[in-house]
Amino acid sequence: MHKNLRPLYPYLWNYKGTLLFGAVTVVLTNGIWVLFPQVIRRATDFLDHTTSHQGINGLMTSAARRQLLIYCLLLLAVAFTKGIFQFLTRWLVIGISREIEYDLRNDLFRHLESLSYSFYQKTRTGDIMARMTNDLNAVRMLLGPAIMYSANTIVFTAAALFFMWRTSHKLTLYAVVPLPLASITIQYFGRKIHERFERIQAQFSEISARAQENFSGARVIRAYVQEEPEIALFEKSNQEYVARSLPLARLMGMLWPSLEAMLGLAVILVLWLGGREVILHRMTVGQFIAFNTYMIQLTWPI
């Protein structure tokens, strides 16, 4: 895979400054967002401590209300600041992917102009159209959202696991129990998805080629009254495209519920064992809530 991505490195290098700035915003986004459960922990422990010692009336004092207001403002500040840096991250990284897509399209077009006439005799126009559209869109998704989400996952997971480990070693170990199984599942489904995606791309190329040939040869088709047969062939190609797409949709439909079930198992273990830790006073209510908040936040990145 590293060898296949090597031709893209010069394009990324052209935007190294913007990429570096994007990496900084990724770190800041996740560094701020990882503090959200910590504010919740402190607020919850404050509520628990106040009501335990002074009852519900303890929350009616001006000092308690002022402290609660501070925690509310902190939560808003964390969410607002995270939103700003997340916007910058998307603007920078997705913007770079668009710029690289533009560069790739220009370079590919110049390359096509330099090819010999024999190449176009051997290669169907639909194949070229598919590579200029779907394939380049896939490259853009790799260089944009894929890089952004991968970086977010790595940074936030590392930071969240650090705070989770500080809270409870045992609960953290139970929380990561499904991860090896999830990794195996992703690898298995990943291979199957790649195989099916290639078959879909090949059929898309066939559809593009047939459409181009029909448009360019419209006069000939009308001259020989071949409209209905050509429509039937185009319909058959589309049905084949749907037939190849359905297995991919079924695989994707199996992948996400499987991963969510594994993560749900980890949440159940944490709720059961963490609840016992709170009852035995080995963990505060705030720590327990913060730990579960990290689990929820980790669901999407993982």
Q: Give mean pLDDT, residues 147-167.
A: 92
C-alpha angle 77-169-276 in degrees, rounded to nearest 5: 90
> What is the 8-class DSSP label of residue 280?
T
Number of neighbouring beta carbons within 10 Å of residue 289: 19
Band of pLDDT at residue 126, cut at 50, 70 and 90: confident
pLDDT at 58: 67
> What is the 8-class DSSP label of residue 8?
G
Distance CA 269, CA 26 (A): 31
Distance CA 15, CA 10 (A): 9
Q: Give mean pLDDT, residues 139-148.
A: 88
Q: Give mean pLDDT, residues 188-211.
A: 85
Sequence-distant (6+) residues with CB within 8 A of 130 are 201, 204, 205, 208
Band of pLDDT at residue 106, cut at 50, 70 and 90: very high
- CATH number among 1.20.1560.10, 3.40.50.300, 1.10.3720.10, 3.40.50.12280, domain 1-166: 1.20.1560.10
Distance CA 102, CA 238 (A): 29
Q: In whole angstroms, how far apart are CA 60 and each of 50, 63, 74, 95? A: 10, 8, 20, 50
Reported in sequence order, the residue ranges of the chain that DSSP labels E, i.e. its strands, are none
Band of pLDDT at residue 51, cut at 50, 70 and 90: confident
Distance CA 59, CA 49 (A): 10
Residue whose token pair is 């209510």: 285
Contact 103, 14 (CB under 8 A): yes
> What is the 8-class DSSP label of residue 34?
T
What's this model's pTM, rounded to 2 decimal places? 0.78
Average pLDDT of the chain is: 87
Q: Give mean pLDDT, residues 81-99.
A: 94
Residue whose token pair is 């499904």: 178
**Quick one: angle between helices 285-299 and 147-167, nearest 10?**
160
Band of pLDDT at residue 1, cut at 50, 70 and 90: low
